[in-house]
Structure 1
Amino acid sequence: MRIWAAIAYEGTAYRGFQRLAPSHEPTIQGVLETALHRLTGAPVRVRGAGRTDAGVHALGQVIAFDSSWRHSLEDLQRALNALLPLDIAVWALGEAPPDFHPRREAQARVYRYLIYNGPWRDPFGRRLAWHVPRPLDVEAMRRAAALWVGRHDFGAFGRPPKGHNTVREVRRTAITADGEWVAFEIEADAFLYHMVRIMAAMLVAIGRGEQPPEVVAAYLGRPEAYPAHAPAPPYGLYFVGARYDRISIPSPPQFLSDSLRVLKDR
């Protein structure tokens, strides 16, 4: 049967999600396939909803694979988590339609970029957020991010897969500030390579007062002007989740939010 699973991972130790070649390891896909091979005794191909880059994290990456597992799905989830390293966790799992494909069928994807806006670096969060010490104008950042909503040519903000165009539809953007933490969240039908990281870097430049919010509209009108900005570091980026018509994925557990809240309140 085909099985879907929702996983979280801290991507620091990995060279991205997708397995490309033995010399490219370790990858999230490679580690998952090795664990499933050990469990089932047969090679297993894992497909993912998003091909996150090296150092990028995930709260709700969606994967799918075929297996002849003969026990309960609860047992499979427990066994898989027992084999996986501590920086990868399977937090939901279920049976999928036999032709389900997590990348091709995704109706929308959600990414979040996390910024630590304290004056001094955070030694505990250095792999989980981009440290930006200068104060940020969050309202200016919100005005800028709102300009991305809609169907536009985002060619200035990222590169497409080979043979694809650069038109995407952004469904929503949100910027939240909680003390010294600032999060940029964006939902779209699909994303270009480095698109969210370039957007995050531009938002920081706007928040610092180095560029006006209207620069977003200017680059939307010039899709050939790639890159609109050098991308932000990968370690602040999180793949939050994907939405589907044929399967229902629960909301990710609040792993990161709860951890940061505990640290902040002490």
Structure 2
Amino acid sequence: MRNLFMKVTYDGTNYDGFQTQPGGNTVQDMLERAITHLTGEVVKITASGRTDAGVHAYGQPFNFETTSLIPLERWCLALNARLPEDIVVTEAHEVPLTFHSRRGAKRKTYRYTINGNRFPDPFQRRYQFHHPVALDVKAMEQGLKPLIGTYDFTSFASRKSTKASHVRTIYEAHMEIDRSMCRPDSTDQGVIHTYITGSGFLQHMVRIIMGTLIQVGEGKRRPEQIADILAACDRAAAGPTAVAKGLALWNVSYEDAGN
């Protein structure tokens, strides 16, 4: 028996998230079908976590056990030939049988992208939230700071969350602006990327954080209110859930998988 660890990059626009759902239209479903088609085995993959419908990923880790003797260097090309064009396996490694993609994950980074230019980019419309009105990015950056640390993030979790504990740790959070597509002498703000790295995330957590920060950028909330929202442990205290298409799982780090 072999335990294979892989990474998959996908455009989540047309899927009901990563994890298997009754409708059968998820990234996990597509991967498992491709593996079965390739090996003849019925497998159940284990991923580093789930993503919501419409959310994307750059290198989502997963692992599964197989008796197949297919060489490692052939797996990616063989699976990609059997997957839709918006799902691409980019890495394959053999790991110990004890390795578990979800339990072994130490740090996860999500990126949320806001297009702050006056006009949307039709080529990036699936991956950006367009906000044509100017945002106070400095205030948004200030609003990120109180979130760094270990806290109860109930205020930033979906009311449907079933987790026993809402305590999570955010290690890093910062914003970057790409002004390469700004028009000269315009009010374009550029493409604003927010990176948040933590030990793990609750359902809708990053999207609720971003929905709240967008309100800060619009002047509807003050950045110093973020600490109070966090302390309230009440979903009603925070802002709306930002749209899914701006969110992508950016990176997952492990200590024992060479990643």
Q: TM-score, normalised by structure 1?
A: 0.90
Contact 2:157 2:202 survives alignment (8 Å): yes
Instruction: Give the root-mean-square deviation of aligned CA atoms.
Output: 1.3
The match for 1:222 among 202, 223, 232 is 232
Deviation at 1:113, TM superposition (A): 0.4
Cα distance in 2 between the residues matched to 1:164 and 1:172: 24
- What is the CA–CA distance in structure 2 between the aligned matches of 1:207 and 1:151, rounded to whole Å? 24
Aligned residues of 1:157 and 1:198 also touching (Cα < 8 A): yes
Deviation at 1:225, TM superposition (A): 4.0
Size of the alignment, in residue pairs? 247
Taking the aligned partners of 1:167 and 1:236, their CA distance within structure 2 comes to 25
Distance 1:73 1:227, change over 3 A: farther
Aligned to 1:17: 18
Helix, strand or coil: the match of 1:147? helix
Report the alpha carbon displacement of residue 245 of structure 1 after superposing the two structures with TM: 1.6
The within-5 A match list for 1:169-208 is: 169-179=169-179, 180-208=190-218
Q: 2:243 aligns with which of 205, 228, 233?
A: 233
The answer for the alignment partner of 2:166 in structure 1 is 166
Mind listing any 5+ residue stretches in structure 1 that lack a counterpart? 250-266
The 5 Å alignment of 1:70-85 reads 70-85=69-84
TM norm structure 2: 0.92
In the aligned structure 1, how far is the partner of 2:151 from the partner of 2:66?
Answer: 40
Structure 1 position 161, deviation (Å): 5.0
2:67 counterpart of 1:57: no
The CA deviation string for residues 102-161 of structure 1, in whole angstroms up to 9 with x for no partner, is 111211111010111111222221111100111111111111111100011111000485
| Partner residue, 1:127 | 126
1:248 aligned partner: 258
> Partners in 1 of 2:9 and 2:50 — Cα distance?
14
Structure 2 residue ranges without an equivalent (≥5)? 180-189
Structure 2 CA distance for aligned equivalents of residues 168 and 247 of structure 1: 23
Q: Could you tell me which amino acid in structure 2 is paired with residue 15 of structure 1?
A: D
Identity among equivalent pairs (%): 36
Secondary structure at 2:147 match in 1 = coil
**Which residue matches 2:8?**
7
Matched, 1:92 2:91: yes
Q: Once the two structures are superposed, what CA deviation does each residue of 1:184-220 show, in whole Å capped at 9, x if it has no partner?
A: 1101111111000011111111112121101210111
Q: In 1, Cα distance between the equivalents of 2:161 and 2:30?
A: 24
